[in-house]
Amino acid sequence: MGIVANVFAGLVGSSVGQSLLGSWGPSIAGMALIPSIAGTAIVVTVVSFFTGRK
């Protein structure tokens, strides 16, 4: 994936992580850090799996 797709997947993952895990942990710019990182890692991994080269 390109950098634009990774950034987009990261932003979507951050929102998904906060929706599923809540807003616990330290916050930066109004976003909880730990759920955002967890959601981003999951979404980027899943998207990379489906769009990866074969």
Task: Say how far apart CA 45 and CA 29 lie, in whole Å.
Answer: 25
Residue 25: per-residue pLDDT: 82
- Tens-digit pLDDT profile for residues 1-54: 678 888 888 889 888 888 888 888 888 888 888 999 999 899 888 888 888 765
Task: Say how far apart CA 19 and CA 28 lie, in whole Å.
Answer: 16
Residue pair 26/33 in contact by the 8 Å Cβ criterion: yes
Which of the 8 DSSP states describes residue 31? Answer: E
pTM: 0.76
Would you tell me how many other CB atoms lie within 10 Å of the CB of residue 39?
22
Residue pair 42/14 in contact by the 8 Å Cβ criterion: no
